[in-house]
Amino acid sequence: MLTVEEIETVPFEGQQPGTSGLRKKVKVFLQKNYVENFIQSILNVNEELEGCTLVVGGDGRYLVKEVVDTIIKICAGNGVGKLIIGQNGLLSTPAVSHLIRKNETLGGIILTASHNPGGVDNDFGIKFNTSNGGPAPDGVTNEIYRHSTIIKSYKIVPNIKCDITTIGITRFKIEDKDFVVEVIDSVKDYLDYMKEIFNFPLIKTLLEGSEDKKKFNVLIDSMNGVTGPYVKRIFVDELGATEDNLRRVVPMEDFGGIHPDPNLTYAEDLVREVRKGDYDFGAAFDGDGDRNMILGRGAMFVTPADSLAILASWLHVIPYFQRTGVKGFARSMPTAAAVDLVAKEMNKEMFEVPTGWKYFGNLMDADRLSLCGEESFGTGSDHIREKDGVWAALAWLNVIAHSGLSVKELLMRHWRKYGRNYFARYRKILYIK
């Protein structure tokens, strides 16, 4: 029988989660008890912890596997009933959100620093999502921080050993309580959900071509992040693309030394390939799979604001929204107002929210929001409570397949009807003597 130990500890300064969890340098997380303190603080704020189920996964960056092991030990010591963990600790942030909602779990712990660089000298992060599948609201993150400032001990089962490399269920007896760890295929549930949302046969015909149309050539870049396995299963196995249509699809602990942020600066080599190659469409995703960049032929760049507005205009052609109906739209405050014009034309509610995906979730839970986005390359819908990069690319392909229009034609059509909206992003650096 495995037993619980209570280990004395002292608080660390600065364990205040931001809009997307706690992010620090790897070397900060490597301090003795640093991870243990924060995981215990997350568990302490959840009153229904006893016997609950949590989802656990991360983007594959340096330290993910070690922290998953720590989470298993601490959850076992705190009466958690079951953990659902992605094989090898891998789960995209959108996949975690879906798994939380599908399995009606108490929440999930996501190990990611999103689009920040990885590796021993770079960044790591821990984020808690609540039972709606979305990032913990301010009230919860403030409580996590408060607990982190007064923590005196954490509970752990130090001798528990669980293989997360093999899919399957492992059962443990922790004193008089049952504890289950289920290691799942990281991709399957998310893939099945995408097949419900989109018209995969239609997209497959687009990508493979037909007697009267040449194949629509795509180049999809996972930037050595977590979406690699998702992209291979979706685009190659399901939609008929080839390995030549993919790049950087092997998750790496340091993302291959690149900055996994899908924009014109950090995905410049993708832009260059799409520009010089025979590609109709390009897409890139960030480290944890929630951000996206969309390109057309000749590397025509689709701004996040235009992407949001064009998808809003065509949302009705996607099977998921044919079933659920199109509700309102929303954007973050810094995002250009292109979607506002679409909402007015369609007589839909339009919301402007502060920066942080958690602020969209309340509107989705109130059944008032179908589609939302932010200028930092995030797009998503009410299918989950996170932004979703792969979803955004599939949404574009569904629209293209249905309309018969190219990326450029969709953009030009939108601009002719609504005009062009712009935004500028400034970085302010303060020098304090």
Q: Are 407 and 306 in contact (CB under 8 A)?
A: no
Structure tokens at 418: 């609504």
Residues 6+ apart with CB under 8 A from 242: 236
Q: Report residue 260 as tokens.
A: 């996994």
Query: SS3 sequence, the chain?
Result: CECCEEEECCCCCCCCCECCEEEEEHHHHCCCCHHHHHHHHHHHCCCCCCCCEEEEEECCCCCHHHHHHHHHHHHHHCCCCEEEEEEEEECCHHHHHHHHHHHCCCEEEEECCCCCCCCCCCEEEEEEECCCCCECCHHHHHHHHHHHHHCCEEEECCCCCCCCCCCEEEEEEECCEEEEEEEECCCHHHHHHHHHHCCHHHHHHHHHCECCECCCCEEEECCCCCHHHHHHHHHHHHCCCCHHHEECCCCCCCHHHCCCCCCCCCCHHHHHHHHHCCCCEEEEECCCCCEEEEEEHHHEEECHHHHHHHHHHHHHHCHHHHHHCCCEEEEECCCCCHHHHHHHHHCCCEEEECCCCHHHHHHHHCCCEEEEEECCCEEEECCCCCCCHHHHHHHHHHHHHHHCCCHHHHHHHHHHHHCCCCCCCCCCCCCCC
- Which residue reads 């480290």 in tokens? 287
Q: Could you give the CA distance from residue 379 to residue 223 in angstroms, rounded to a whole number?
A: 18
Q: Which two tokens stand for residue 392?
A: 């955004």
210 is catalytic: no
Write down the catalytic residue from 20, 41, 97, 114.
114
Catalytic residue numbers, as ranges: 114
